[in-house]
Structure 1
């Protein structure tokens, strides 16, 4: 990791990103407003303990916390292991994915690159052309690219708008490397007009996908690890898709019989 900003500038950047005042943060982190001002302007250097307190208060992702430590002259506090080296955590991810069958589910990193998927999700990804499946397979690229699943999404305008809003919020929250480029790429794909003709129940926006001569409708949930201490684990999310209607539930149950 290359750090190009002093630690005070990082503190200020994340404080402003979270739309917090110096007074608010200083009270919450138990330091004086003057001390926080001195840290931000470089007149004072925070200790390791102070960095962690400020990062906790500003909800800074673990990857970015390491940048704080390096900028202050300390060693990074959080390790970053490859997904294959996460041991019990990887086993837990794959157990969750298997346990969710026949509901499609996958694990992605912060850039939406596929880490693992269950058999039900693999059925749907089989429809993605080889050029979009080359590792690392990006789930959102495979979904919204004109040559990917986009042609099978009946409410593409509606779903595309939801996905883009989600990525913008994620980028604002995490500032993760690669997300801005991914967002720009997704925004460059042809934008279908959403005329509101595809109904939904007003609670959530479903993913409506053509499959086997019919249409399946999915709701989704996102699961993350609690209290992670590894950068890779901090960035893993499990996306699970559940039936939004009886027809979809029946198709998934039939799929389960095929897996048995």
Structure 2
């Protein structure tokens, strides 16, 4: 059933997947109905074609009676990968950057990002800080977001796409919570027709206009690493760039 569920999630036919994974349509049908048990190698071939996240792949292996194929280590124990995350975060200064897991819980952040999160109420600032909750909650940064309706709509669309792609545990509950904030979404036709949606944030030192980019690890083999993304906010205009540098100088 797991194979069928993910095949339908990816909107792929049995014929399409069987050809791509180099097996017969009958064999794939038997795997989907439980009449045939796939080998670990076959599981990986099918999962490759369906772009199944590593955490879900382990469930495929367990359902077939095998041990999980992909390890899951704590973030602190990722060795060189953890050092790479820290190097990226530090290298992004004075731009705010944060490493998050699949449910947007903060794993690490640079000084610029921590400065933005400083002052959150206890219920939002207690570890692990959820970046989306901290940004959109009425008691968080939401009152400072100049384009809150537009930004909230953009975030909700992004989380829905992420949930469709990953089916990650806890992400649906987070989405439902975020959808409960505010008074609805701004339709895309009412939003500014920029190339990307900026985060327009008011601060005591002046307004910031920020664009973001996401960085992920290529070809991860660990579940934790597979779910890590580094979100970096870059200045959308010269004034924001000057203000970020000035704030970094003040912290230094």
Report matched runs for 1:53-202 at 5 Å. Answer: 53-191=45-183, 194=186, 200=192, 202=194
| Secondary structure of the corresponding residue to residue 94 of structure 1 | helix
Q: Distance in 2 between matches of 1:79 and 1:16?
A: 27
Q: 1:149 to 1:241 in 2, by over 3 A?
A: same
The equivalent position to 2:24 in structure 1, one of 25, 32, 40, is: 32
Q: Distance in 2 between matches of 1:257 and 1:200?
A: 33
The equivalent position to 2:238 in structure 1, one of 238, 246, 249, is: 246
Per-residue Cα deviation, 1:162-205 (whole angstroms, up to 9, x for no partner): 00000000000000000000000001112267499x98462011
| Alignment RMSD | 1.6
- Higher mean alpha-carbon deviation, 90-99 vs 247-256, is at 247-256
CA contact (8 A) 1:61 1:234 kept: yes
Q: Which runs of 5+ in 2 are unaligned?
A: none
The equivalent position to 2:212 in structure 1, one of 209, 220, 245, is: 220
Q: 1:145 to 1:250 in 2, by over 3 A?
A: same
| Residue of structure 2 in register with 1:17 after alignment | 9
Aligned length: 251
Q: Which runs of 5+ in 1 are unaligned?
A: 1-8
CA contact (8 A) 1:105 1:239 kept: yes
CA contact (8 A) 1:113 1:138 kept: yes
CA contact (8 A) 2:31 2:37 kept: yes
| Residue of structure 2 in register with 1:6 after alignment | none
Q: Distance in 2 between matches of 1:10 and 1:195?
A: 35
TM-score, normalisation: structure 2: 0.96
Measure how far apart 1:255 and its partner are.
2.3
Q: Distance in 2 between matches of 1:64 and 1:195?
A: 33
Q: Distance in 2 between matches of 1:119 and 1:148?
A: 19
Per-residue Cα deviation, 1:20-59 (whole angstroms, up to 9, x for no partner): 0000000000001111011111111101110010001100
Q: Distance in 2 between matches of 1:201 and 1:244?
A: 15
CA contact (8 A) 2:150 2:191 kept: no
